[in-house]
Structure formats: C-alpha cells, structure tokens
Amino acid sequence: MNNTVKKVNPADTMDENFQLFSDLTHMEHEQIVFCSKPEVGLKAIIAIHNTTLGPALGGTRMWNYSTEKEAIRDVLRLSRGMTYKAAISGLNLGGGKAVIIGDSQKDKSESLFRAFGRYVDGLGGRYITAEDVGITERDMEWIFAETKFVTGLPKEMGGSGNPSPVTAYGVYMGMKAAAHRAYGSDSLSGKKIAIQGAGSVASHLAGYISKEGAELYITDIFKEKANKVAKLTGANVVAPDDIYTLNMDIFSPCALGGVVNDDTIGYLKCDIIAGGANNILDDEGKHGDMLIEKGILYAPDYVINAGGIMNVASELEGYNEKLSMEKASRIYDTILKVFDYSEQHNITTIAASNRIAEERIKAIAEVGNIYSSKSHFSKRKGEIYLRDRS
C-alpha cells in the first residue's frame, strides 16, 4: 500500500471561471485585501472601492458564508454601495467594506478581532471600519485596541454606540417620502407594512412605524427575534417565505441583500419597497426594470439606509446625536430628489441615485486635480517632494 500523501496545489482547486481582477475592474474597485491569521481563526476580506471623496468608511460584517466566492462577491457589492451612499449623502468619505468569514454566534474571540484591527491599521487610514451584521460594540472595542481607524464605539468611549436607531430613523423618513410620492400623503396610518428581518434596525423601524398606526407584519429566520419585536409593537409574525406573498402596501427588507430576485419578484404584491438592507435588488438593472413593469416604487437601499454612515461619520468630528438624527431626517428630501430625477430622465430610481452620486464624485475629482500646497519636501537626493493629498 502506498501511504504517500499527495500534495494538492491550491491553484488546482480554484474555479477557472472565477476572474477576480475582472470583477475588480468591472466594479471599479481600487483595492482588495485578504487577511489570514489561522492561529486565531481569522479569515477576512477588506474591499476599498473608491477614495475620491475621502477615506473609505464602511462596516465589518461577520457571516458564515457558504463559499469564499460568495464572501468576495458580497464584500465587493457592499463596498461599492458605500461609495454611492457616502456620495449621495453629501459626506466627504469614500466607500469600503469588510467581511469576516465565520459564525458570529460561536467563532468570536478577542484575539480574532484584535488581529483584524492590525490589518485595518496597516492600511494607514485608507479604510475606516464600523459595525455591521454580526458585529457588536464589544467587538469594536477589541478592534479599537489595535487601530484608531474605527467608528461605532460605545458612547462611554466617546463614540456613537449602536448606529441602528439612526439607520432605522432614516429608513422611516425615506419610507414616508415614498408614501408621499405613491399616495399623496406621507402618513403610514392604516398602511399594511411587512418588515423582513427582526434585527436591531428592523426592531427600531417597527417601533417608529407602529406609533403611526400601521398594520405591521414581521418575519425572521430566528422566530424568537420576530416574536420579541411583535410583543413590543403589536406586529403580526409570519413565516420567512410567506413575507413575499402578502398583500401589502410597503415591503421593507431589513436583513440580507438580494431578496428581490428572479425567484421572489413575481410574488410581490406591494406599492413600495423601502428597507434598511443593502443590495436589496439582486441585479440592479434587470430587477429595477421589472419593478417598474410591476408598478412598484423602489426607494434605493443605499440612499434610504444612509443614516448609519451619517451616524458613525459624525464620530470623526466629535459625536453629536441630535445632529446625526437631523442629518438622517434629510433622507426624506434626498429620496424625493431621486424620484424626481428618475421621472425627468425616464430611468429607474436606482439608476437615478447612481447618477446623482457619480456626478458628485466626478465634480469633486476635478477639484482634487488642483495643486493645494500640501507637499512635503524631501532631503533625499532625487526626490523633490512627496505629495500629501490628505
């Protein structure tokens, strides 16, 4: 018997159809960083999409992805969305995102997050991290132990704490703007609203909505979470798959992205989609067009859920909760601006928000070409100056 163990070349196990650099070029990313520290169980990916407006800011998500390809696809989509979110919100920030591959219920440790913090710190401020799905304030404290490039810290440490209340308030205001456009009034009283997900953003959103007297429905893959929100708000709990088939006025996805897709879009019976999840449309172009055909008004996700980035971004200048909430309230006007642009140019609402964001990025990029006397002269022979664009 031959007991020789055959060594496997990792390259032989790669999907030959997976073209990473093609994806980076197509989605116009600047940089992607793979972070590996097996001793502490760290497998993470940091994606920096665009830094024209400023350093890339975006949360870190911990999720038990089924494949590494799925994790890469997610971080690329999420980081791109952060660029557009910051741009359309008027923030001087770029877009980035990070994912940690693992089960947030059992794979966390101080050493894992501190190792991740070291990788963030190594980017020298090109990427600033924050809290996202599967991450808590305690996790952010561990990251902060290794890098200053972190937001979403507890309030007792000078941070903004959990951004979910402000995110939810922005979604609520955007939902009211969409109701105003669809119904002629922004009142949600009597409207049948279905929330997908019962996490922190969804629970706060349900609280805002219930106070207006809406007929509220909620679901979550963890039924106990949905039951908890229902107990607090009077919502009706439905099974996860049943959320798509409800006769509802407003559908509000507040869990993971890609829920409006080829399999679900045919079941939707609503007037408006307005939710806190990222990348709600599985395919922006295709499913954006299909929503128009079905007569469904879509409030672009990265516009309506921008309250979170507004909240954590305020930490960079000294956190002010009242100001953060006031900024989130402006999402109402931004959503109406997107709807107007969509009608004027006869394009989908997601295409309209993309264009508005791209126009701002392009305009500021032109300003950045002006030399502004920020160079540092070097004494080393052959180097006249090193340009500092910070």
By annotation, the residues acting in catalysis are 97
Instruction: Pull the structure tokens for residue 79.
Output: 């980081």
Helix axes 321-329, 164-183, angle to 10 degrees: 20
Distance CA 156, CA 247 (A): 44
Give percent helix, percent strand, percent coil of the chain, each to the nearest 5: 45, 15, 35
Distance CA 216, CA 234 (A): 7
Q: Which amino acid is located at 106 in the chain?
A: K
**What are the φ and ψ backbone dihedral angles of 312, each rounded to 5 degrees?**
-75, -30
CB count within 10 Å of CB 6 equals 5
Distance CA 68, CA 93 (A): 28
Q: Which amino acid is located at 37 in the chain?
A: K
β-strand 42-50 against 31-37: which pairing, if any? antiparallel
Q: Which amino acid is located at 240 in the chain?
A: P
Closest CA to 65 of 77, 54, 73: 73
**What distance separates the 2 farthest-apart alpha carbons in the chain?**
80
DSSP state of 63: E
CA dihedral 336, 166, 314, 63 (to 10 degrees): -110
Instruction: Pull the structure tokens for residue 341.
Output: 């642009």
Instruction: Pull the structure tokens for residue 198.
Output: 């019962």
Instruction: Pull the structure tokens for residue 255.
Output: 């869990």
